Amino acid sequence: MGLTAGARRRTPGLRREEVAQLAGMSVDYYTRMEQSRGPRPSRQMLTALARALRLTEDERDHLFHLTGEQPPRRATANRPPRGRNMIRRFFLDPAAQELFPPEDRPKRARELVAGLRAVASARPTDPGPTALVAELRTASEEFAHLWDEHEVAVRRAATKRFRHPAIGILELDCEVLVNSGHNQQLVIHTARPGTESYERLQALRLVVSPDLTPTAP
């Protein structure tokens, strides 16, 4: 951990002197901060303390909240390749456009653009959404027209239809979970048991993975 070896400890854990050393602060400053007697610690001090104590991201965020500070933005996984961006593919990739029934496309396009505007508004300093909007406005007349209508919405739940090349139309319930920073989404699609879409998905599952055939208990 960056500490010199010493005598065997009677109790586990770091001493105040060791925490202060690892965090790059004086023992007196750390003691006063620990006892809420000193000035409000800076974000740099809180970051150093979290690193010294090897706090998890949740624990670090809690530490920042206790001092009235906004936690640092969490690191996200590597961004996917450009070709995997859902909105870019919807407007620019003809193959991806085939995934939706033609009659549903106008509504789906409007929802995607309104959602992108919500993300761009929530992350004004992030160059990612700004660059994506600029690209799509240039490359897609449809996107440019919808963007100029200034609709904004975050869809949390909806029913969507997809066109699968092997099994036809699937009607799925869609739920979108968005984190507080609006930089990650978890999209969940499910088919209601007993529906035609559910049976089609079960059939597709067996075609893709025949070893998953249900067995009697």
Q: What is the pLDDT of residues 85-136, one digit of tens each?
A: 889 999 999 888 888 999 999 999 999 999 899 888 888 888 888 999 999 9
For residue 62, pLDDT over 60 is answered with yes
Give pLDDT, residue 12: 61
Q: What is the mean pLDDT of the chain?
A: 82
- For 130, the 3-state DSSP assignment is helix
Total Cβ atoms within 10 A of residue 39: 9
Record the pTM.
0.55
What is the percentage of the chain residues whose pLDDT exceeds 90?
A: 32
Reported as a pLDDT band with limits 50, 70 and 90, residue 197 is: very high
Q: 118-149 burial, b if ≥16 CB within 10 A, otherwise e?
A: bbbeeeeeeeebeebbebbeeebeebeebbee
Give pLDDT, residue 188: 92
Total Cβ atoms within 10 A of residue 195: 14
